[in-house]
Amino acid sequence: MIRLTFFLFLIGVLVAPNAKAAGSSYPLKDAEVDLGDEASLFRGAQTFMDSCATCHSADMMRFGRIADDLGLSDEQLAKLMPTDKSKAGDTIETSMPSDYANQTFGIVPPDLTLVARVRGGDWLYTYLTTFYADPDAPWGVNNAVFPGVGMPHVLAAQQGLLQPVYETHGEGEDAKKELVDLEPPARPGTMSEEEFDQKMRDLTAFMVYMAEPAALLRAHYGPYVLAFLFIFTLVMYLLKKEYWRDIKH
């Protein structure tokens, strides 16, 4: 409970400086999360360790739990672990020292274990795919659903840097620019749009799973529970028929 409260506090700190972050009108994309696709979840876990764990932790998730839930082999699990000395019981810790993070970002990047539960899968997927060029921003980028985002676009080399399309409302000093669309990057990234989108869908799926691992168990046992309830209802119906057969009304 303490960890959850601390995580929500950090999210609040990031969001509070810019109220538009929570009120963006940019339409969300459908993440098409399929928690039954274990291959997608594993690819997402690899992307998380390669691209996210550099700055962010997920210290409510253990490597052993991931391996058990996704049915990973020892070789696959080893690919997720940051060092040869890592153990299955270890949680996902960031490799960035907190003092360096404070110096660079002004804050320690928040733990991401529960971010998909806080924001939702569609928001997270849209966030990951809508960084765009903004020369006025501290890192030279902004985000369609999180205006004023305080992190660089770490996957810009793979996606390229999308170009914003604005509409101006009002005149003179009251004029305001509104982001209405994003155009393809001037310099394409190393991945095609389809490849990058799939990579982000995989990452989103893993983070949705990570926020609530029990969802996989519910999906696994759900059909058995429904089958039991159907049989139980049928038995109770037949028992009721038998019980009331000799009772005169």
pLDDT in tens, 193-234: 999 999 999 999 999 999 999 987 777 788 888 999 999 999
Residue with tokens 């009002």, as numbered in its chain = 170
Fold of 2-212: Cytochrome Bc1 Complex; Chain D, domain 2 (1.10.760)
**pLDDT value for 248:** 64
Residue 141 pairs in a beta bridge with 133
* Lowest model confidence (mean pLDDT) among 92-96, 98-102, 216-220: 216-220
Instruction: Give the pair of three-digit tokens for residue 49.
Output: 């360790």
Residue 3 vs residues 68, 99, 112: alpha-carbon distances, Å? 23, 20, 12
Identify how many contiguous H helices and E strands the chain contains and give both numbers: 10, 6
Residue 77, sorted as left (phi over 0), alpha (psi -120 to 50) or beta, turns out to be alpha
The DSSP line for 198-240 is: HHHHHHHHHHHHHH-THHHHHHHHHHHHHHHHHHHHHHHHHHH
**pLDDT value for 9:** 36
pTM of the model: 0.80
**pLDDT value for 175:** 76
pLDDT in tens, 4-57: 433 333 444 344 333 343 457 899 999 999 999 999 999 999 999 999 999 999
Torsion of CA 13, 15, 16, 21, to 10 degrees: 170
* Lowest model confidence (mean pLDDT) among 61-65, 88-92, 95-99: 95-99
**pLDDT value for 249:** 57
Mean pLDDT, range 241-248, rounded to an integer: 78
Cα gap 49→37, rounded to integer Å = 19
